Structure 1
Amino acid sequence: MAADPELRWFKSSYSGGSGTECVECAYVARGALIRDSKCNGGPILNVRPQAWLRFVDSVRHGLQQAS
């Protein structure tokens, strides 16, 4: 899947400051897209809405337990 120049990509607020371990996401009608921020012309993962919501919920829940 080629990157659409009109997509609004964003980085996680939990990404490291060094710029070496970051992913970017973009929301689309059928879920979310994920790519490596260092290779924005590279492969893009397309994640269905239910899977994306479960992933985000799991991350939030896991972070709350760790603190």
Structure 2
Amino acid sequence: KKSKKFIVYMNGQVTKVKGSGKKQIEPGCEIIVPSKVKKRTNMGDILGYATSFSSLGLMIASIANLIKK
């Protein structure tokens, strides 16, 4: 993914940077490059998912066992 760059002009107008943006930049402009947020899955989340799926599997197995009887 390309990061989205924006130029804020002195009059408050905001435009997206096209290409290198050299022609669009004027004195007094502010250049904004948003940082990317890294999404990380921690061990607690993985443990929670594993517990949920194992409980769901056991419930399905129990229901299947009751239906067979």
Alignment TM-score, normalising by the size of structure 1: 0.31
Counting helix residues as a fraction of each chain, which structure ranks higher? 2
Q: Structure 2 length normalisation: TM-score?
A: 0.30
Q: Which of 1 and 2 has higher RCO (CA within 8 Å, sep 6+)?
A: 2
